[in-house]
Amino acid sequence: MSIVLAPFIARIYSPSVIGELSFFLAVSGFLILLSTFQFENAIITEKEESVAWEITIFCLLSACIVATILLILLCFFSLPLYWWFLPFLVLFSSFAHTLSHWNNRLKKFNKTAYYTISQSFCTNLLKITFPLFYKGSLGLFFASVLGQLFSLYFFISSLRQKYSFSFQSLKEKLAVHRDFPRYSLPHKLIQTFAFNLPILFFSFAFSDTEVGLFAMAITLSIKPLSALARGINQVLFQQVGERHRQNSGSSKLLRSYILKILTIAVPFLLLIYVALPHLILFFFGEKWISLANILQLMLPWMLAMFLSNSLNFIPSVHLLQKKAFVLELFGIFVQLIMLILGVYLDSFILSISLLSFSTTIFLIIQITFFYRATN
């Protein structure tokens, strides 16, 4: 949905406004994780449904407390008006994340699917229609909050439960699942930091316009390719997992898959490289023309990321999670060094070039690690 409506959003909002929203969403991502301490994962793993319901209520209450603290803190800082939307986005997103886990436990997968579709549809539709009633960038932030709020409608019925809630026994029950805030939360924070690292760095080092151009590049490339890779990931996961149970190697399967992707993708990406300036000018307009250059620099990154994301289940199959995590930390460190170098040289395009080059090299190393694990 985002990629389809991106040209319309780009015609309405300037790159600088998109840049402000990207930094706003990056900050909210960390706070959403912290608001429930990752206890929502215990909703799925808990054996007793009544206890899972109590954990659900705890997560909802915890999100309310964090949102309230954010509102109070905002009173002490002189920030742009759009930051007042932050507590509400954190609150509604945490509610949605928690309730999706509860509905998944109840095997009401249709509700989670309805929420996901409606959230994307409502948010993007509001981004386009809001300027008809309000002229200004605040509509973009308001749409992000309202899109989450409206989509919560699909989860309302799941709140009607026969189970009781007791604070007295809750501490003991949460202690059973203390590994989620102790280990899962730091891991998730690291992953979120890694994903948002360029946006965070660019927001402090360069203009909102340049941040907006990079954020739009991510929307048009990395995000849709990641979604496509997740689908392929599930298929390969099943095939590799079955072969592993039968003590049969999967290296031939993966070699064939990688060669097929490269055979199709390389000529296609070369064609895209040539056509990008014309496509961006036609769909997005002249004010976004620099987006073409950024996307051209990111093409190798896109291909390597697609292959890596479609194979990142392999450490779980072969019990190599620790090595994979250490490798992931190394990749974040390399990205950080390249971003610091680009910022030090005070060049936005050079920063993108260094980031794309280093990330591509790291992802090739990661793909090699995945492939060797299957031998």
What is the rounded average pLDDT of the residues 265-279?
95
Does 33 score more than 70 pLDDT?
yes
- Res 304: pLDDT: 95
Query: Nearest-CA neighbor of 90 among 125, 64, 109?
Result: 64
- Res 319: pLDDT: 75
What are the tens digits of pLDDT across the range 165-200? Answer: 777 778 888 888 888 888 778 878 887 888 899 999
Does 163 score more than 80 pLDDT?
no
What are the tens digits of pLDDT across the range 81-97? Answer: 999 999 999 999 999 99
- Res 161: pLDDT: 66
- Res 236: pLDDT: 82
- Res 138: pLDDT: 86
What are the tens digits of pLDDT across the range 204-224? Answer: 999 999 999 999 999 899 888
* 61 CB-near residues (< 8 Å, 6+ apart): none
CA distance 292 to 66: 40
State which H helix or E strand residue 228 sits in: helix 222-245
What are the tens digits of pLDDT across the range 244-258? Answer: 777 777 788 889 999
- Res 261: pLDDT: 93
Quote the pTM value: 0.85
- Res 45: pLDDT: 81
What is the rounded average pLDDT of the residues 345-372?
93
Q: What percent of the chain lies above the pLDDT cut of 90?
A: 51
- Res 313: pLDDT: 79
- Res 356: pLDDT: 95
What are the tens digits of pLDDT across the range 104-118? Answer: 888 887 888 888 888
Does 162 score more than 80 pLDDT?
no
Confidence bin at 279 (pLDDT 50/70/90): very high
Angle at 322 between CA 317 and CA 325, to 5 degrees: 100
* 217 CB-near residues (< 8 Å, 6+ apart): 291, 294, 295, 298
User: How high does pLDDT run on average in the chain?
Assistant: 88
What is the rounded average pLDDT of the residues 257-261?
93
- Res 75: pLDDT: 95
The answer to whether the beta carbons of residues 38 and 174 sit under 8 Å apart is no
What are the tens digits of pLDDT across the range 42-62? Answer: 888 888 888 889 899 999 999
Does 364 score more than 90 pLDDT?
yes
The answer to whether the beta carbons of residues 85 and 28 sit under 8 Å apart is no
Instruction: Enter the tokens of residue 304.
Output: 């390597």
